[in-house]
């Protein structure tokens, strides 16, 4: 599978922007269908009204999925930032009381085992 440079899914941020734009477009289309339903409510074509209501139902589901996808992408973006900041930042000292500050724990070879409390 080839990957096109500049696609809307190159990063979490660009995918989030794409989903946000798609959600906005769905919202606008849903408003148009709602207006069509209002116009058709008194018309002589009940099948057209049923079709519009079915379309509205599908658009509501799609809108909910787009909103949920945006929240998931936002969570992934937050988690990625958290993980990269933790990996790049030095461990902070542990404060037991106001007067006692322990150095950051050692990790890797030569680290002393930590006794359970």
- Token readout for 85 is 């900041």
pLDDT digits (tens, 9 = 90+) for 35-73: 999 999 888 888 999 999 999 999 999 999 999 999 999
Domain boundaries, the chain: 12-96
Question: What pLDDT sits at residue 1?
Answer: 40
pLDDT digits (tens, 9 = 90+) for 90-101: 656 566 666 666
The Cα 57–Cα 55 span in angstroms is: 5
pTM: 0.63
């Amino acid at each position: 599978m080839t990957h096109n440079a500049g696609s809307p899914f190159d990063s979490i941020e660009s995918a989030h922007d794409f989903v946000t734009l798609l959600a906005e477009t769905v919202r606008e289309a849903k408003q148009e269908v709602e207006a069509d339903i209002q116009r058709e409510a008194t018309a002589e074509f009940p099948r057209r009204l049923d079709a519009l209501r079915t379309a509205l139902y599908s658009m509501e589901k799609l809108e909910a999925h787009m909103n949920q996808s945006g929240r998931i992408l936002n969570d992934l973006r937050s988690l990625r930032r958290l993980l990269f900041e933790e990996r790049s930042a030095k461990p902070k000292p542990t404060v037991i009381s106001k007067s006692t500050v322990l150095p950051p724990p050692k990790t890797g070879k030569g680290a002393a085992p930590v006794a359970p409390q």
